[in-house]
Amino acid sequence: MTQLVVAMIVVAIAGFALYRTIRIVPHAQAFIIERLGRYHRTLTPGLTIVVPFIDTVKGIIDLREQVVSFPPQPVITSDNLVVSIDTVIYFQVTDPKAATYEIANYLTGVEQLTGTTLRAVVGGLDLDRTMASREEINAELRAVLDDATGKWGIRVNRVELKSIDPPSSIQDSVERQMRADRDKRAAILSAEGQKQSAILTAEGEGQAAILKARGDAEAAVLRAQADADAQALRARSQADALATVFRAIHAGDPDQRALAYRYLQALPETAKGGDDTMRSVPSETEQDLGEPFTPPDEAPLKEAPPGETSLKETPPTQ
């Protein structure tokens, strides 16, 4: 019985020693090992064997990038205005040994260093430049913090100003100024739009007037040409009609009185052409008109030669 108890105690001690001997380090972490109170080594991720009861784990360091948001810091600008600035720090531990032994609490150290650096940077700027120079402030803060935290085994990747809150009275003035600027830009854009619209409208109206005048001129030319062509056609038709009548009359070999009578009958038809051409009566016709004569309908004309049209068979010219 005694031997069984002793065996169980030995097994328990061996199991506990084995548990203290084998260490499994997770990924993106580092274990700081001390041997008899002094730094011995840094365990990297994976399975590692340590000496039980001699080697101890001093600290576990997270090697991933960390994001820390610090509470708003009151900062006085160069024009003696108190602004509240909220910052966010992105940093990463690059040396676990330095982060463990060079500073007691690197998170507290980064926070205090950020506030001090922020007051030094913003203190040399006025409110307007502070509000408009966030990128410059971020870059300067990152450079100063990265240089100061390098000995702690920490690399500062980014620094962002979440908000810059001036006093309430200043906020009202800033809002009024921003509103005035927006109204000014809106008025300028509206005026530019109206100007461009007026210019385009004037150009369109000018082009329309030019096109209308050109169309009217072309239409007037076409109308004049059409009138001239119509007058020429009417004159040609009248000439052809008179020629046809006189050929028919002369084919019947009439005397002078019958010729004068037919000529007078054709004059009203010729006058219907509507043009301003002056027509004269032949002298023979005037002499014959002074003598009495019998209308050609009562005195038969000479018979026309074969193949020609007599005077009575000639249709009246329209």
Q: Is the pLDDT confidence value at 257 over 90?
A: no
Query: What are the CA-CA distances from residue 45 to residues 27, 60, 91 (Å)?
Result: 5, 11, 21
What's the pLDDT band for 265 if we cut at 50, 70, 90?
Answer: low
Task: Pull the structure tokens for residue 252.
Answer: 């019947």
What's the pLDDT band for 276 if we cut at 50, 70, 90?
Answer: low
Q: What is the pLDDT of residue 254?
A: 60
Least confident of 179-183, 279-283, 291-295: 291-295
Q: List pLDDT tens digits, range 175-201.
A: 787 888 888 888 999 898 888 888 988
Average pLDDT over residues 33-51: 91
Q: What is the pLDDT of residue 129?
A: 85
| Half-sphere exposure for 38 (CA within 13 Å, toward CB) | 1
Q: Is the pLDDT confidence value at 253 over 80?
A: no
Class for the domain spanning 66-166: alpha beta
Q: Is the pLDDT confidence value at 82 over 70?
A: yes
Domain extents for the chain? 2-62, 66-166
**Contacts of residue 273, Cβ cutoff 8 Å, sequence gap at least 6:** 234, 235, 238
Task: Pull the structure tokens for residue 316.
Answer: 């009246």
Q: Tell whether pTM > 0.85.
A: no
